[in-house]
Structure 1
Amino acid sequence: MFLSPIRFLILLLLLNFVVSGQVLRKIKERVRELQLQKAKQSLLTSTVSGKQPVEHVKEGKIKQPLDHFNRQVIKTFPQRFFVNDAYWQRPHGPVFLFIGGEGPIFEFDVLAGHHVEMAVEYGALLLALEHRFYGNSINPDSLETENLNFK
């Protein structure tokens, strides 16, 4: 039993799509590893040189409306954030907001990375906000399917 040329072409295209996705995922993981290594090295260097940015990191939570588009829903959820004011040129320095992606945030997110290097250069306050439904920013009703419709 032979495949028709069209079916064979479709099969090849699907295979190529799957392989390409795997390659891109591996590249993304490797880039993230390299970024983390560089960030850890930067943090170590600043600690050894006498700067203690870790002392300037504070964790907090803010009550956010569960549904921002329906005023009849009055429930809230605690959204976690980290603040680092080690480099901030008070009171007029800029604020850099780091929005967490698909995962929890950590103190490390306001201690190292390209955005931290820019904060040093521009005298900025660093703020990392955890994406809802990740880490400690999960609504009290849990991650049941019917609770994932809130925006």
Structure 2
Amino acid sequence: MLLSPIRCIILLLLVNFVYSGRVLRKIKEHVRKIQYEKAKKNVLMSAVNGHKPMGEVRDGKIHQPLDHFDSQNDETFPQRFFVNEAYWERPHGPVFLFIGGEGPISEFNVLAGHHVDMAEEHGALLVALEHRFYGESILTIEEMGQVL
């Protein structure tokens, strides 16, 4: 049985849509890798030029509620963060919060970029928070099974 022209077009559009998603995902991963390497290079060059040391960065995890709308559910997930106090003018300096996008965060999120330059200018504390479903801020299969 032959496919009608409309069904052929729908099938082609569906295949194109699926393939485009894969291509866009690969492009996004490549761009993140380039950004990471660029930030790493900038941080290392700054250190060579006598800029503030990288030793100011701390990382950790906080346990966030899995469901903020169900007070009966006490399940949590670990959310990763990084803190850079190098420029913070305690105790009254501002706090700049960098919320990670669709990908994992690293120490370079509080060491390089326009927001870091602004933090230095304004004496701010830098905090980077990883998005809930990326990097180390995601439930494992075992943890998801326990929640469900």
Q: TM-score, normalised by structure 2?
A: 0.73
35 and 67 in structure 1: CA distance in 2 versus 1, 3 angstrom threshold: same
Task: Report how far residue 78 of structure 1 moved.
Answer: 5.1
The correspondence of residues 2-151 of structure 1 with structure 2, limited to 5 A, is 2-74=2-74, 79-101=79-101, 104-132=104-132, 142-145=142-145, 147=147
Deviations for 1:30-54, whole angstroms, at most 9, x for unmatched residues?
3212211220121011110112331
80-89 or 124-133, larger mean C-alpha shift: 124-133
In structure 2, C-alpha distance between the alignment counterparts of 1:93 and 1:105, rounded to whole Å: 24
In structure 1, C-alpha distance between the alignment counterparts of 2:75 and 2:145, rounded to whole Å: 17
7 and 75 in structure 1: CA distance in 2 versus 1, 3 angstrom threshold: closer
Aligned residues: 148
116-125 or 3-12, larger mean C-alpha shift: 116-125
Unaligned 5+ segments in structure 2 are: none
64 and 28 in structure 1: CA distance in 2 versus 1, 3 angstrom threshold: closer
Amino acid aligned to 1:49: N
Q: TM-score, normalised by structure 1?
A: 0.72
Identity %: 68
3-state SS, counterpart of residue 8 of structure 2: helix
CA RMSD of aligned residues (A): 3.2
96 and 35 in structure 1: CA distance in 2 versus 1, 3 angstrom threshold: same
Deviations for 1:46-104, whole angstroms, at most 9, x for unmatched residues?
11011233121123444544543343445655544321011223343321112345665
Amino acid aligned to 1:52: K
3-state SS, counterpart of residue 143 of structure 1: helix
The answer (yes or no) to whether the contact 1:63–1:78 under 8 Å persists in 2 is yes
Amino acid aligned to 2:90: R
Task: Report how far residue 122 of structure 1 moved.
Answer: 3.4
3-state SS, counterpart of residue 128 of structure 2: strand
